[in-house]
Structure 1
Amino acid sequence: MANRILVLSLVAFSCALATAFEPSPLQDFCVADPTSSARVNGLACMDSKLVKADHFSFSGLHMPGNTSNPLGSKVTPVTVAQVPGLNTLGISMVRIDYAPWGVIPPHIHPRATEILTVLEGSLNVGFVTSNPDNRLISKVLQKGDTFVFPVGLVHFQSNVGYGAAVSVSALSSQNPGVITVANAVFGSNPPIASDVLSKAFQIDKNVVDYLQVTF
């Protein structure tokens, strides 16, 4: 009897872990109400009688993004912020445009696994495994290829072609979040103490100061 209870407890615990990120919705939909003052893990639901088709729609994903910036890339998100009807559904997507040799710098999605598909061009993509190995797993993708970035791991994309490139990604969260490594480390507000970063990266404090000003 004790063994049976233990097995049932482990099954229940496993099921809880499987739904730990974003639980299944308890109604047909829960369109986000950004005006609500309710404090919930996500966004409060709008009155279903006020819901319209526009709450589930987004236009303009066919339009190229402006890549005239130092990184040479532009992300067009389609998350719950753009489509309120995604609230509680656990999915979102992005379009990414890349200028020749443009990059999406190393970053993390703390709440989502990402699957990327190349629509145009050639991309070098990859992610780094966790400590202590920190192994780089990377590949050059061509049009029609896909690649998966596991949740929480540092990853990047780089256009390795001479022309513009385009990709689209699906993410397993309505609000995947983005932590760009360089911005978080060298551009935090207030700044991380330069002596901490100097020791952590084994570089001179003058270099740290320069990077903190840059970011």
Structure 2
Amino acid sequence: FLIITDLFLKSPELVQAMFPKLNNQERVTLLDLMIAKITSDEPLTKDDIPVFLRHAELIASTFVDQCKTVLKLASEEPPDDEEALATIRLLDVLCEMTVNTELLGYLQVFPGLLERVIDLLRVIHVAGKETTNIFSNCGCVRAEGDISNVAEGFKSHLIRLIGNLCYKNKDNQDKVNELDGIPLILDNCNISDSNPYVCTHHPEGNTEHAHLPRRLLECPISLTVNPQT
């Protein structure tokens, strides 16, 4: 199956046709291979980019449509771990794709993606406060947070994706502010100059909103501007 799946990656048409027919375990395997390809020591080639742009379309659209299935983890009934893991892997792939500058621009303007990510972070945050569930236990995203923890890892990757989608993109930075995303992000982070989720997602080049994180933090932070890897 691994060999066949690796061949799938070279044919976006085949991936798009087969992906809906795969079970959750098979989807996770395929998504893991995408992550391995994107994060390989060998960067994507010029021929790879058009293929992975098609993959990005599939992953983003699937995430926008299905991401709220992860909320089943907050239910009292035993969750479908495989379904939740498949949803979490979609987010993992998007985070890795937005580190690649060739794929980032496409995903920054993907319809509804940024809005859905902010909305999902808000829903998870509220769910963790209203009832006792897996999202209640993870608390704030810490600089030393355990990414293997499902709830904490999912929250931190939502924040990471928001930051990457805002990288040198004033429209998205403004959109985050309009959707009250900055207080939401800060409410989910320990405010510390060692926390990468706060420090690296400052709105570079946006003078209208650049003061907001600093004013809310009221503490000096060291800023970098590269998409969060």
Judging by fraction of residues, say which structure has more strand: 1
TM-score, with length taken from structure 2? 0.28
Larger Rg: 1
Q: Scaled by the length of structure 1, what TM-score is found?
A: 0.29
Q: Which has the higher helix share?
A: 2
Q: Which has the higher contact order (CA 8 A, sep 6+)?
A: 1
